[in-house]
Chain A
Amino acid sequence: MVMPQAGEIKSRIEAAIPGARAEVEDWTGGGDHFRASVTAKAFSGLSRIEQHRLVYQVFGDEIGGPIHALSLSTQSE
């Protein structure tokens, strides 16, 4: 299985959520624990839970699979 890279996580978030800017780091260097900070206009008016769900939805079943953990911090623009 190919381990996802931080850069790939970043570009997938930015591609899937219009206007999103993401900073992603590989938390442990192991290619399976990531930490992302995401800012997007699309978050405006959404609760924190809904904002995080939008980001998690980009990855579907990969969360808990190849992406063991994706720690999130979200801000609306």
Chain B
Amino acid sequence: MSEQTSEVREAIEKAIADNEVILFMKGTPNAPACGFSARTAGALQSLGAKFAAVDVLPDARIRSELSALSQWPTIPQLFVRGELVGGCDIVTEMYASGELAQLLGVEHEDGALEEPTLGNGVLEIENRL
């Protein structure tokens, strides 16, 4: 592992450790660059969950190091309290069953995914990865 790569790895590890709920995605919650990322961020937003988000697109090393670390091949990836919860499929399933709300300690509102309230409840994380 080169020094630069391990720097990226350490930054990812720190971001996961420092943020109780953190989503690695393509694009940002307000401007997602992929449908899977949009859906996952939308589930969190519709629960009014506070979460940090990291865009993996600016630097290809973020994605490769993240996947090496998490042993999970695709983006998005949601971590809660340092543990990988899953990608879009698992988060969507857990949203529907109420497990996601439970995990995040928020009230689950019945019904369809609301329109995400943009910029509300979203912790902006400066992307220094």
Contact = CB atoms under 8 A, between A and B. Distances in A.
Place the interface of chain A in its size category: 10 to 19
A53 B71 contact: yes
B48 interface: no
B90 to A, nearest CB: 5
Interface residues of B, number: 14
Nearest to A68: B74
Given A63-B74, A69-B74, A52 B88 contact: no
Interface in A17-62: 48-49, 52-53, 56
Contacts of B84: 49
B100 to A, nearest CB: 12
Contacts of B86: 48-49, 52
Nearest to A51: B90
Interface string B70-92: 01111000000000111111100
B73 A56 contact: yes
A73 B73 contact: no
A69 B36 contact: yes
A72 B89 contact: yes
Nearest to B94: A48
B89 A73 contact: yes
B114 interface: no
Interface of B: 36, 67, 71-74, 84-90, 93
